Amino acid sequence: MTTEEKDDSKEDSRLEEDTKFDENSASESEKINGASENKSIEEPTSAETAENAEKGEDVEEKTNWGKEILSWFLMVIAILAAIWFLTNFIIVNARIPSGSMENTIMTGDRLIGERFAYWFSKPKRGDIVLFHWPVEPDTIYIKRVIGLPGETVTIKDGKIYINNSKTPLKEDYLKEEWTVENDGYTFHVPKDSYMMLGDNRNNSADSRYWADEALDDGVAKTEEQAEKYTYVKKSAIIGKAWFRYVGGFKNLTNTAHY
């Protein structure tokens, strides 16, 4: 092979290499273009973007609803807890089932009492109080305080005398003339207790009768044992009647003046 032929052969080889390079370059270019095209195809359309945005709004809306429901639930729990605390420690809401306090409080009336009334003070004569009945503590009674701790209370001819006073109590709140069990009673109120009477003296189960009821119910075996059921201890007093709200509003905190 001559020198010229060798040179020609080299040139052919270079041409072949250049051709391969061009082919490889074209191939790489196609790959890049293909990748670019694929990338452009994968980009979301405006419709897809809107759909995704709507989905995001749905998720956010569901989250907001969940938070709102939880907020309402917690608020209801807080209200119920407040009502429970209020009715167990601050006030008592009572319906009057009998006429023993007429005409001050009528049958079917509803009233609010103050549980805290005697936390730092003692009941006064004339106060209307709610208390656990000594004979059956699960039963709640409402009466007026008449005898205070350590006092002697005498009932004579429909009048009440305190500590052998010659002047009877002035009881303007009585429903009518007192004619039933209105004479011959003397009560020695223990130092930690109170004597209670209803305003409707002719039809009131109060301190005049509780000793007999204790005997009849078998709670007490002897008259001596029954005597203590005549009176109400301060610890058994639930609260002081505050006002009537069903049956016409009426302030019940005005104590009688003696």
Q: From residue 178, give the alpha-carbon distance in Å to each of 25, 118, 132, 181, 197.
A: 125, 30, 26, 8, 12
Residue 7: per-residue pLDDT:
45
- Residue 148 backbone class (left: φ over 0; alpha: ψ -120 to 50; beta: rest): beta
Which one is predicted more confidently, 19 or 200?
Answer: 200
As a whole number of angstroms, the longest Cα–Cα distance in the chain is: 164
Q: What confidence score (pLDDT) does residue 25 get? A: 47
Q: Quick: pLDDT tens for 91-124.
A: 999 999 999 999 999 999 999 999 999 999 999 9
Catalytic residue among 143, 193, 204, 240: 143
Catalytic residue among 31, 36, 40, 100: 100
Give 130-188 pLDDT, tens digit per residue.
999 999 999 999 999 999 999 999 999 999 999 999 999 999 999 999 999 999 999 99
If you ran DSSP here, which 8-state letter would residue 89 be given?
I
pLDDT at 203 over 70: yes
Taking the whole predicted model, whether its pTM rises above 0.75 is answered as no
What burial class does residue 155 get, using C-beta atoms within 10 Å of its C-beta: 0-12 exposed, 13-18 middle, 19+ buried? Answer: buried
pLDDT in the model for residue 6 = 44
Residue 77 gets the label, from left (phi > 0), alpha (psi -120 to 50) or beta, of: alpha
**Residues 15, 215: Cα–Cα separation, whole Å:** 133
Active site residue 193: no
Please list, in sequence order, all residues whose beta carbon lies within 8 angstroms of the beta carbon of residue 130, skipping any fewer than 6 positions away. 92, 94, 113, 140, 141, 142, 237, 238, 239, 240, 241
Judged against a pLDDT cut of 80, whether residue 208 lies above it is answered with yes
Coil vs helix vs strand at 25:
helix
CB of 182 closer than 8 Å to CB of 208? no
> Could you give the angle at the alpha carbon of 95 between the alpha carbons of 92 and 99, nearest 5°?
130
What pLDDT is attached to residue 17? Answer: 45
The DSSP secondary structure of 44-84, one letter per residue, reads PPHHHHHHHHHHHHHHHHHHHHHHHHHHHHHHHHHHHHHHH
Q: Indicate the pLDDT class of residue 202, thresholds 50, 70 and 90.
A: very high
Confidence of residue 84 (pLDDT cuts 50, 70, 90): very high
Whether the pLDDT of residue 213 is over 70: the answer is: yes
The answer, yes or no, to whether residue 212 has pLDDT greater than 50, is yes
Q: Per residue in 16-74, pLDDT tens?
A: 444 444 444 445 444 444 444 444 445 555 555 555 555 555 556 666 888 889 999 99
The pairs formed by 157-166 with CB atoms below 8 angstroms and a separation of 24 or more are 157/182, 157/183, 158/182, 158/183, 158/201, 162/258
pLDDT single digits (tens) 232-247? 999 999 999 999 999 9
**Contacts of residue 62, Cβ cutoff 8 Å, sequence gap at least 6:** none
Known catalytic residue: 100? yes
Burial of 212 (0-12, 13-18, 19+ CB in 10 A): middle
For residue 123, how far is the Cα from the chain centroid?
A: 27
Q: Is the preceding peptide bond at 103 cis, omega within 30 degrees of 0?
A: yes
With tokens 């189960």, the residue in question is 205
Q: What mean pLDDT value characterizes the chain?
A: 84
